[in-house]
Amino acid sequence: MFNLLFISNDTSNTLDKNFYFLEKQCSTLTNLSVYRSSGRLSHISKKLEQPPDFILLANDLGKEMFPIIHGISSIDIPVGLFVNDVHRFTKTRRHFIRKNAIQYLFSATRDKFIESYPELKDNLIWFPHFINPHVYKDYGLKKDIDLLMMGAVNDTYPLRKKILEFYQHRPNFLYHSHPGYELENPAARDVFYIGEKYARELNRAKIFFTCPSVYYYPVMKYFEALACRTLLLAPAFKELEDLGFIPGKHFVAIDEYNFMEKALYYLENEKERKKITDAGFEFIHRTHTLPIRTRQLISHIKTIIKNEGVL
């Protein structure tokens, strides 16, 4: 196993725990060290029991870029930077990448990354979202929610706005608002649908709506709904299909004009609904889970350190 240094804010109490889960999974496949603060990389390395062969940095997970790491370009250890939301911190991130000559950029999205950073296209390593199969799974709950939508509803998600406006007063439609990402208030964890509570609510739904935002991101809800054995109604687009999501097989593609008729059709046709739901469930758990994505990450890193002659 190689020595990996993972520099990131603590995400164990945030809404999106995937980087926390990723850290834990990496600890089973590498000699992992974790660092939570800003600082100069040469000083950080001296604090470690063993020098790293590779450094992973995730600094765009909160309201501001953190941790801030200095002196990256002055060390001989390869560094990879995670890019989570491409549209945030765009100028700051570009400056940070250039200043530190970071060569390896692990982005959750492909097309928006290339659109935002065309000059960095050759540095892109596509690292899509994934689900933790211990959380997002079939809990075997009764399907007693016909139509469900959860999450942010604003101008960034125009289709969600239309869906909520159409269904909000209908008795077979349920909507839960977004809890916010930071969850500084521990009481919020009991009030809002997050973690296992969120996954269980997904599992209760016959149909779940979402959309990719104005940025056309393959947002995590595409993965989460399928993983909880729920029929997803959401727009299709090339990046999503390149991840293996097949409209009509794994989920039902909708737009602002046909979501009502598609929802009604699949509510009334249980056999067809179940066929797509089951295929989507199997697809996600076969291709987009935490263990799978971690192995892919480790494989990328091993190739990098081999090519750079670190090991």
| Domains recognised in the chain with CATH numbers | 3-130+290-308 (3.40.50.2000), 145-287 (3.40.50.2000)
Mean pLDDT across the chain = 95
pLDDT tens readout for residues 109-133:
999 999 999 999 999 999 999 999 9
Residue 281: closest CA among 217, 198, 224: 224
pLDDT tops 80 at residue 156: yes
Rg (CA), the chain: 20
- State residue 247 phi and psi, 5-degree precision: -60, 135
Residue 11: closest CA among 127, 182, 154: 182
Extract the tokens encoding 177: 């608002």
Angle, vertex CA 14, rays to CA 9 and CA 20, nearest 5:
55
- pLDDT of 214 reads 97
Q: What is the mean pLDDT of residues 193-219?
A: 97
- What is the pTM (predicted TM-score) of this model? 0.94
- pLDDT of 286 reads 99
Residue 15: closest CA among 215, 194, 150: 194
Q: What is the mean pLDDT of residues 136-157?
A: 98
- Cβ contacts of residue 64 below 8 Å, gap of 6+? none
pLDDT tens readout for residues 70-98:
999 999 999 999 999 999 999 999 999 99
- pLDDT of 241 reads 99
